[in-house]
Chain A
Amino acid sequence: MAVKTILQPISQPSRLQKMWQSTSIIFESRVATVGMAMVLFWVILAFLSLFWTPYDPNASDFLQNQGPSVQNWLGTDHLGRDILSRLMQGTQVILLKTRLPGDGGISIPGGVAIWGVIGSLSLGAILGLNAGYRGGWWDQVIMQVLDALIAFPQIVLYLVVIAALGQGDLVVILAITITGAPGVARLARSLAMDIKTRDYIRAAETRGESVWYIMFWEILPNARGPLLVDGMLRVGYAIFAIGTLGFLGIGLPPPDPDWGNMVNEARRNIFSNQLAVIWPALAISTLVIGLNLFADGLREEMTRYQK
């Protein structure tokens, strides 16, 4: 029964149907649907902020530390800036754009959290697949290096990398990549060890395919489900980590607002304006919860299929 459901889509339906098949999985789980809605909320807000925010997020146009009003829905911060506009703009650096160093102010699409996770997925997959598929000395050496990286407390790694290389979007991406890679690699390794015993890998080996071909064209596509779910969770961790770094004052550099840093700045005025702390905190929490629920739901559904 289970075998049938897996095999069926491979042979017959169109690409569109295939896509629907894989997305419809989401709607079968209520948890995943709720999670996706929360994530989508922020993604839509992020895209919206590219074209429109209620006010200029960096302009001090209003009275300082005001509560919510018709004019400023979420109130204003300690410099008289509109919190809603800043919150919306804050999604960009996380999800939509990465600012390259230099004077040009050039950004590339894809936020810091996204690139960080793509980085750790790529690096982790390469290391994990090599370790898992090749085994032997490759496995020993790679696992030893990964053990060292895992033993490294993440926050210390962040602090050292940022203290060493300075603040910047790319540095944060690098830090997320390095701290995330070992986990991904472990997962990829165990998946590879499992998959390499399958018949179609034997077949490929008999055909005389190269090791890299087998790893990336035979094993990886069959391991992508769990890896993607893991990646989703990691986006959540990354947003959390960016928030923490921002709070410690060593996160994403200005001028773009950064949620963690918004908390840090608002903290000094918490006695007069608690909401200014709560909004960015809520933003971080809801986005992280959304990603968590989404990933949990997906995983549940996928394991259900496999049973």
Chain B
Amino acid sequence: MARFIIRSIISTIVTMFLVSAALFFLIEVGSGDITVKILGVFSTPEQRASYRAQLGLDASAWQRYVDWLFGNDWRAERKVGYPLVTAVNPQTGEADWWADVDGELTRWQLDEGILMTLIRHEDGSATSHLSSGAWKTNTAGSEYFWGVDTKNNAVMWVRGEGAEVWALTKAGLRKEGDGPKQYIPLRKGLLRGDPGISLQYGRPVAVTLIARIRNTLVLAGVAFAIIMPLALFVGILAGINEGKPLDRIISITSLGFTATPEFVTGIFLILIFGIWLKVLPAVAIFTSADAIFQDPKLLALPVLTLTAVELGYVARMTRASMVEVMDSAYIRTAIIKGMPKSRVVFRHAIRNALMAPITIIMLHVNWLIGGLVVVEVIFGYPGLGYYIYKSAIFGDFNAVEAAAMVTVAIAIITRLLGDLAYTLLNPRIRYS
């Protein structure tokens, strides 16, 4: 048993690693020039090149993958020569990078050719001083300096050679004179809990993602709690009555629901309940972050849509499993022996019949996630699926990576749980 768990966990880690690499390089190969999307089509090639450098995109893909996974502060530390630490900016609540120069948190700024030192105070504010004697001379004779700038990059300035850079400042481009020659956008890496900055929104991915995951878990959780008992009940009902009219009705209905795309179901639910009858909120309008808790009715139509699609699938699985079990020798023997059919069904058949669908459902969590994306898009539900969709369309790779890793983790963990449950329920495969 222990061996099985250890093997599963190792396999999970390897899987996550493979997925992350595949995802990273897939986006890498295809997404083209992300800077066009960020800066807009009217940006010039110089602006794009400058911005690429600031995003650290001029580094090799391999380097960026390592940075993304493990962070790059340790790499930048060697250049800067001081430990790099983060401190929370009280204004934004987001972490900023500073160099720890003998206990003083420090950043630098090049202002019209003059290097300034910014020292952070306890309250988060900073004072600026003239920085003297900081320049170093390289072999070619030009003076350079590695430091941390005010935008969370480790950068190299070269004296007298301020590059002209185009900085994106949230709402547009600005041209800055004293541009650094080289950038390392500082990050801790996914493994240390930092998925980076969203290219689309300019905020840390983690801030948005956590709220989104919560919303999705609520939606999926409620849907799951409704779908499972209902689907199992209906499936068993059909399975017991195999071939009878009740079975036919259930089977055809559930096949019909499964074969109706969720986007069609969703659209019509919105039309009927949200707009014609006006009994339920048509779409998920979050007027505050906790809207679903203040007004749980927001969940009604998304849940209903998910139910319509997933219910049929699970019910069909359960029915098939039930039919198989009812057909098996030991059940037939029990019935022939003269045991009441209801007792046979409840005592023996159901327990065995449920094993298959439960594990299959666990295996299909990623399939459910697919349904979630579509449902969240239709209802404008601010969840993980909508986030992935938006980010993928934009090519916001930091966001897609992080969100996809979450979904992969969910899929793998549930599958692991499914495997474990199955192993516990079924001694036959325990040691295989």
Contacts and interface: CB of A to CB of B under 8 A. Distances in A.
Q: In terms of DSSP, what is the predominant structure of the interface of chain B?
A: helix
Given A248-B389, A274-B271, A281-B264, A156 B22 contact: no
Interface in B209-246: none
A117 B365 CA distance: 22
A148 B369 contact: no
Contacts of A293: 255
B15 A148 contact: yes
A160 B385 CA distance: 13
A290 B373 CA distance: 26
Interface stretch (B59-67, B350-358, B406-414): B406-414
Interface stretch (A39-47, A69-77, A123-131, A163-171): A163-171
Contacts, number: 135
A264 B408 CA distance: 28
Interface string A253-285: 000000010011001001100100110010011
B18 A145 contact: yes
Interface string A128-152: 0000000000000000110110111
Nearest to A140: B11
Q: In terms of DSSP, what is the predominant structure of the interface of chain A?
A: helix
B408 A151 contact: yes
Interface in B358-389: 363, 366-367, 369-370, 373-374, 377, 385, 388-389
Interface string B295-329: 00000000000000000000000000000000000
Given A163-B392, A248-B377, A271 B261 contact: no
B263 interface: yes
A288 interface: yes
Interface in A230-250: 236, 240, 243-244, 247-248, 250
Given A164-B26, A164-B30, A292 B259 contact: yes
A163 B395 contact: yes
B367 A165 contact: no
Contacts of B271: 270-271, 274
Given A144-B15, A240-B261, A289-B259, A153 B267 contact: no
Interface in B235-281: 255-256, 259-264, 267-268, 271, 275
A164 B29 contact: yes
By size class, the interface of chain A is 35 or more
A260 B377 CA distance: 15
A148 B395 contact: no
Interface in B87-104: none
Interface string B10-36: 010011001100110011011100000
B404 interface: yes
A165 B408 CA distance: 22
Interface residues of B, number: 45
Contacts of A250: 393
A156 B30 CA distance: 15
Contact of B18 (A144, A164, A165): A144
Contact of B370 (A147, A153, A267, A277): A153
A195 interface: no
A193 interface: no
A116 B259 CA distance: 19
A204 B411 CA distance: 41
A159 interface: yes
Contact of B407 (A153, A240, A248, A278): A153
A250 B395 CA distance: 13
Nearest to B30: A164
Interface in B397-432: 400, 404, 407-408, 411-412, 415
A247 B255 contact: no
A243 B275 CA distance: 25
Contacts of A159: 373, 388-389, 392-393, 400
29 contacts: A148-B15, A148-B19, A150-B363, A151-B19, A151-B411, A151-B412, A152-B411, A153-B369, A153-B404, A154-B366, A155-B370, A155-B373, A156-B392, A156-B400, A159-B373, A159-B388, A159-B400, A160-B392, A163-B393, A163-B400, A244-B263, A244-B374, A248-B377, A250-B393, A263-B261, A277-B267, A284-B259, A289-B256, A292-B255
- Which 10 residue pairs of A and B lie closest in terms of their CB atoms, listed nearest first? A164-B30, A155-B370, A159-B392, A281-B264, A153-B366, A148-B18, A153-B369, A288-B259, A163-B392, A148-B15
Given A153-B373, A161-B26, A271-B271, 18 more contacts: A150-B411, A151-B19, A151-B366, A152-B404, A156-B392, A159-B400, A160-B404, A163-B27, A163-B393, A163-B395, A236-B259, A240-B259, A244-B261, A244-B370, A247-B374, A248-B377, A277-B264, A284-B261
